[in-house]
Amino acid sequence: MARRIPFRRRSLSLTSLIDVIFLLLLFFMLTTTFTRTAELPLVAGGSGTGVAQAAPVFLRLSPQDMTLNGQTATLDTVTAQITGLAQDDPQVLVSLAPGVNAQRLADLLAALRRQPGLRVQVLG
């Protein structure tokens, strides 16, 4: 009859596990990009101090499209359309439809920011 060798449990070595964890940590640190988010100035509605000289421009932003005083507008031509509708120092009221994500609003505000003299207020 064959002689049985008693089973000995080997001790676990954590060295290889620690090496794998450090390699994963190094990989994720090197592949992550850290970007600074752009700051978007938002004007909060305050108390009314006077009557506006010109009627504000109303812009409705939805997830698919946008309308400017009831007419369809695109992100590329919205600033030209605003300057065509209003004379000096136009005020733009932006209304958000349900389902508009933050990136779409940020794209619109960045496009409006390129036009000097616009006063933009985002309605809640």
Helix, strand, coil share of the chain (percent; to 5):
30, 20, 50
Residues 103 and 56 sit within 8 Å (Cβ to Cβ): no
E strands within 2-82?
57-61, 66-68, 71-73
Helices (H), the chain: 15-31, 78-85, 102-113
| pLDDT score, position 22 | 94
The label of the residue with tokens 């006063």 reads 119
Triad 41, 60, 53: Cα angle to 5°: 70
Rounded CA-CA distance 72/99 in Å is 18
pLDDT tens per residue across span 68-84? 888 888 888 888 888 78
pTM for the model: 0.58
Which of 102, 121, 123 lies closest to 38 in space, CA to CA?
102
Looking at per-residue confidence, does 3 or 27 come out higher? 27
Report the pLDDT averaged over residues 105-118.
85
